[in-house]
Amino acid sequence: MVSDFNKKGNREFFNNELLFKTVGIAFLIFIVFMIFSDIKIYRKKQTLTAEINTYKKQVENIKNSSKNLKDEIANANNPDYLEKIGYEQFAVTKPGETEYMFVRSPKKADTASKTQNSSWSAWLSSSWQWMLKQIHNK
């Protein structure tokens, strides 16, 4: 009888220990899952916040352009405003007026860096135009 008691005691010990390990492993898996879910939610929040900021900027730009258009519509019959627009956008001059353009002579050190920058910008611009042309041709 003593030996039967010891065998039953060992079985209960192993069952309790197995149950404890199983619950512990399940708890660790749950914690890891929650950590990964939290990271995923945080990344999604960052992208949504960035999108909200871009939309806010777009709304501001639209409001500003709307205000400018309303001002232009309000001043559509104002001769002074039309004259100003003619001077600024269309280079209109009154009869007898002469238009002068002032040009500064570039410095030698500045021209070397500007030509290097302009060659890169020209190359990038032509490459970009070629890519856009290829996309539109498809």
Q: Could you report the per-residue pLDDT of 92-120, keeping only the tens digit for each?
A: 777 877 777 778 877 665 555 555 566 77
Q: What is the DSSP letter of 138?
A: -
Break the chain down into helix, strand, coil percent, rounded to 5: 85, 0, 15
- Tokens 């990038």 correspond to 124
| Average pLDDT over every residue of 14-32 | 88
Containing H/E element for 72?
A: helix 2-74
pLDDT at 63 (0 to 100): 96
73-80 average pLDDT score: 85
Structure tokens at 89: 């956008």
Could you tell me which residues come within 8 angstroms of residue 92 by beta carbon, excluding any fewer than 6 positions away?
86
Does the structure show a pLDDT above 60 at 7? Answer: no
Nearest to 53 by CA among 64, 45, 41: 45
pLDDT of residue 125: 80
In angstroms, the CA 130 to CA 138 distance is 13
42 vs 16 pLDDT, higher one: 42
Q: State the Cα torsion 49-52-56-59 to the nearest 10°.
A: 170
Average pLDDT rounded to a whole number, residues 16-32:
91
Highest mean pLDDT among 32-41, 85-94, 100-109: 32-41
